[in-house]
A and B are shown apart, each in its own frame.
Chain A
Amino acid sequence: MNRLPAPFLAGLRHRLFWPCVTLALLCLVNFYFNRGFFDIEIKNGALYGSVIDILNRAAPLMLVAMGMTLVIATRGIDISVGATVAISGAVVASMIGGSLVIQNGVQSYVSNVPMPLAILGALAVALLCGLWNGLLVAGAGMQPIIATLILMVAGRGIAQLITAGQIVTVYYEPFFFIGNGFLLGIPVSLYIVAVVLIALLLLIHRTALGLFIQAVGINPVAARFSGISARALVFWVYAFCAVTAGIAAMIITSNVKSADGNNAGLLLELDAILAVTLGGTSLAGGRFSIVGSLIGALIIQTLTYAIYSLGVPPEINMVVKALVVFAVCLIQSDALRAMLARHVLRTGEAA
């Protein structure tokens, strides 16, 4: 075999190698069918282009995937994020509401509740959802799937209750800035993702928190014996995950300018879990990669974009996603690797 330079081999073995390759391949597929894929132009002082569009649309998923990564790293799972998005979207939309008032020929927007207060309120409600999940998982010791299933079932009902079964439309211009606005030419949602990402990375790499989370994921009992308060950690991880869902809800609600208790964040939990697994974090807990999950979220969004731009009916999207899920599962499977290794050994011996 040819000798490859050492840094290259190290890169090949890096955890993020395969997610990055997948993303690059998808981008190339997009480029092949749409030569303008990488073009970015400036219109009205804002950047426009397919890449920017993908980044912008992936923002809610990236946020939720970050929270989900921590949950999965502690051997948990949170399938209630979609419902949390619906609830906190409903809260913010009904608190802002808003109407266009024309006074002396000057248009001005009036909200029911001051916008910062409404956003804080909605995030607090999201936090409450997370605390509830954390209480059930860490406090009562329920299986994470089931504990979060409860909120997933009841959550959409609660969201409907808040919006009184209606789709609440927001008429308040400043609120739209979150999901549609541009700051220095870059979508505002990306700044939000960047702030959360930097805060999270600092917390994980500059403090022992990341190590603790890994320890709990690898062996909760051993982690407890080594002095980590595993329960408190798991509790706050669920709270954090719900808050990221709450922030995502702000972007989603602002982007579509309304809150729909039935459809806001529908199947978001599944996409988030998929993004985390695509990013190389094992569902069995332990080692995790926040950046990997972001790449996973981008892979999903790029895949969706590719499906649209190929002119394939968007309905096929689900089938493709399913095949991706199966493929990722099989790649991560130790049993398959062992099987392949045996096969390779056998053919090696034969030769």
Chain B
Amino acid sequence: MNLSRHINARTLPLIVTSLLFVALFGFGSIAYTGFFSAQVFINLLIDNAFICVVAIGMTFVIISGGIDLSVGSIVALTTMVTAALVEHHHWSIWAVIPLVLLMGAGFGLLMGVLIHAFQLQPFIVTLGGMFLARGLCYVISIDSISITDESYTQIAQYRLMLGEETFISISALIALAVLAFAIYLAQYTRFGRTVYAIGGNERSALLMGLPIGRTKILVYTLSGLCSALGGVLITFYMLSGYGLHALGLELDAIAAAVIGGTLLTGGVGYVAGSLVGVLILGVIQSLIAFDGTLSSWWTRIAVGVLLCLFCLMQRLFERGSQSFSFLFSYWKKPAEPSNNTDQEASKACLTQVTTRTAA
């Protein structure tokens, strides 16, 4: 059977997540009137477009085996700079948006260079980046700056009608475009393959002659760029810049990636999974909003519980990947070389190299 060939330990989390999303949406449709409509579904995209874009950047970082805690702060900084330039200095938005995107990418680039050149832990470097970006927000202004610029509000409020009653916003379209580009980048380019290789085993990737340094730096640059774009989308959504925007967004982005089936040890994951992860976060929020009796802090608890379940599931796969794969071995081609032997070989190769240089 053709379909079963695609079910393995790598894709199973994604399949489970998609089924969970369908189940949650189905539950909402049955339980609450008015839930089952195209607009509610599209609203999930519109309301979570910025998380989606940020989560896509985060997915690349996590697949490469790193982590980026600075995304929420870069989003906040972007909203702040955008709002300040558009409102206080009356810049054209066509100049401001490329500028802030460059700024975000530059921020990521800087952190990537620190991580790679000085062999620092991504966790602590991006933590520093998080403080820095959040602090710079307050240097610009402590208060929220609302955006009243004509052309800006026009773009923000533009509705593209899909049929009679459903519409989609510009930001949702941008998020979908970013997603399509990210899928292309991850699956069909040399850069994408290198990211997976680094996450799988950095030493093997190094021995294979892949450009580790450049790719790692690019991954953080990409994450910075995505965060800046997420920040622009937030200004479309909220029409303001504020240092407290996107507080804790990094956690949501990481949660979305994990729920979407990206393995936190790196090397495994799909960008599309992160979209499903974001949609699940969104659908939980919608369910709680539709219910009306549950308080909003249940969202955080639900996200925590989901995160926990998916992490445990991942552990199960990691531990039992040997014992687990037999379930699907009936459908597998017999003469498939396993990944493990490659890693063993490269490790042996590495020890040879090191012993030689030592001698």
Contacts and interface: CB of A to CB of B under 8 A. Distances in A.
A336 B304 CA distance: 38
B124 interface: yes
Given A273-B127, A323-B132, A333-B118, A145 B305 contact: no
Given A77-B123, A140-B315, A316-B135, A152 B128 contact: no
A270 B127 contact: yes
Most B CB contacts (10 A, CB to CB) among A150, A154, A321, A323 go to A150
B116 to A, nearest CB: 9
A156 B300 contact: yes
B300 A154 contact: yes
Contact of A325 (B118, B131, B255): B131
B254 interface: yes
Most B CB contacts (10 A, CB to CB) among A154, A155, A334, A335 go to A154
Interface of B is mostly: helix
A150 B304 contact: yes
Interface residues of A, number: 46
A114 interface: no
B139 A149 contact: no
A284 B124 CA distance: 11
Interface in B299-313: 299-301, 303-305, 307-308, 311-312
Contact of A277 (B124, B265, B298): B124
B299 A335 contact: no
Nearest to A337: B118
B224 to A, nearest CB: 15
Interface in B271-314: 295, 297-301, 303-305, 307-308, 311-312
A157 B132 contact: no
A152 B295 CA distance: 19
Interface in B312-346: 312, 315, 319
A326 interface: yes
Contacts of A318: 131-132, 134-135, 138
A161 B294 CA distance: 11
B114 interface: yes
A66 interface: no
Nearest to A317: B135
Contacts of A329: 114, 118, 120-121, 124-125, 128
Contacts of A116: none
A44 B265 CA distance: 57
Contacts of A261: 297
A143 B128 CA distance: 21
B304 A151 contact: yes
Interface residues of B, number: 43
A283 interface: yes
Contacts of A273: 124, 127
Interface string A139-169: 0111101110111111111101100010000
Contact of A141 (B251, B300, B303, B315): B315
B61 to A, nearest CB: 13
B119 interface: yes
Contact of B305 (A141, A154, A319, A334): A154
Contacts of B114: 326, 329-330
A165 B295 contact: yes
Contacts of B42: none
Contacts of B162: none
Contact of B119 (A153, A317, A335): A335
A322 interface: yes
Contacts of B319: 141
A157 B300 contact: yes
Contact of B254 (A142, A149, A157): A149
Given A154-B303, A157-B297, A165-B297, A322 B123 contact: no
A315 interface: yes
B285 to A, nearest CB: 13
Given A315-B139, A326-B114, A154 B131 contact: no
Contact of A140 (B117, B131, B142, B312): B312
Contact of A319 (B119, B121, B131, B308): B131
Contacts of B260: none
A325 B135 CA distance: 13
B180 to A, nearest CB: 29
A261 B117 CA distance: 40
B304 A315 contact: no
Contact of A333 (B120, B129, B305): B120
Given A140-B312, A329-B114, A145 B123 contact: yes
Contacts of A334: 119
Contacts of B299: 157
B55 interface: no
B297 A147 contact: no
B265 A143 contact: yes
A156 B297 contact: yes
Nearest to A314: B138
Given A77-B123, A316-B139, A323-B132, A154 B301 contact: yes
24 contacts: A140-B315, A141-B319, A146-B264, A149-B307, A151-B304, A153-B303, A153-B304, A161-B297, A270-B131, A277-B124, A283-B123, A284-B121, A315-B139, A316-B138, A317-B135, A319-B136, A322-B128, A322-B129, A325-B127, A325-B131, A326-B132, A329-B124, A330-B118, A335-B119
* CB-based closest 6 A-B pairs: A154-B304, A318-B135, A315-B138, A157-B300, A322-B132, A319-B135
Given A142-B312, A160-B297, A284-B121, 13 more contacts: A143-B264, A145-B67, A146-B258, A149-B251, A156-B300, A157-B300, A161-B295, A270-B130, A316-B138, A317-B135, A321-B131, A322-B130, A335-B117
